[in-house]
Amino acid sequence: MVSRLFWLYYTNATYNKPNKIKMEMDAELKNSILKTGTSLVSLVCKDGIVMASDRQVTGGRSLVVDKDFQKTNLVNEYLVISWAGMVSGAQRLTKVIAAELKLKELRSKSRPTVKRAANLVAALAYSLIRQPSMMPDVVNTFIGGFNEDGSCELYSIGADGSLIHVKDYAADGSGMVYILGLLERQYKKNMTVEDGVKLAVEAIKSSTQRDVFSGHGIDVFAITKDGIKKVIDQEILPEYKDKK
């Protein structure tokens, strides 16, 4: 994920500067958006859904801002969300979603479905990215959960508001290329949540070994008809050994 620190540097550095410098900064900004410093993975299993992420937050391309930032979180008792993008935008989006879903539940006296929640996220993303702003909220999102009938669903929402119903697996962030290669070979259509957790951990470990923008920890959530449980909470620590 990307810190506001980079955005503040970008906006301050571009005022009253030659157009060439601003163009270079614009190019850098676009690259940072497209290459979000994050590793997210979500898997659809026969008995539920697994969602996992790393913990590193970066400021631009050369600074680690936070080593212990959880990117996969509970929205409420039946939904989990994962983010890739601007930290502040992701935090704001999660709070708005939780509040809007609670209002819908109170008004209709029934719990919104996972699909309805995903459509809400997509609508918010669509409107936010199209509002003129010096520092726009650019966030890619995975949202997974279980419905009242026990069925589990997973959706991928782009920063532009696009919505995809994920039926197998999905990855996002700068570590995506390393994760997808692993999942292409090792994901099984009817795998259990237990096996999915193991594969998700391997996927995050693989990305943190090669992607310089990901690392420092792993969080994994398992979603089943019985509820949501955080099953992995690990910290990645550097270790120095004498070379023999």
**Active-site choice (11, 14, 36, 38):** 38
Is the C-alpha dihedral spanning 190, 192, 193, 194 positive or negative? negative
CB 58 within 8 A of CB 213: yes
Select from 222, 189, 214 the least CA-distant residue to 46.
189
Strand, helix or coil for residue 3: coil
Is the C-alpha dihedral spanning 63, 65, 69, 72 positive or negative? negative
Q: Is 38 noted as a catalytic residue in this protein?
A: yes
Tell me phi and psi for residue 241, to 5 degrees.
Answer: -125, 145
Q: What DSSP designation does 191 have?
A: -
Select from 138, 157, 12 the least CA-distant residue to 87.
138
Structure tokens at 235: 């910290």
Q: Which residues contact 203 (CB under 8 A, 6 or more apart)?
A: 39, 41, 52, 171, 179, 182, 183
Question: Catalytic positions, please?
Answer: 38
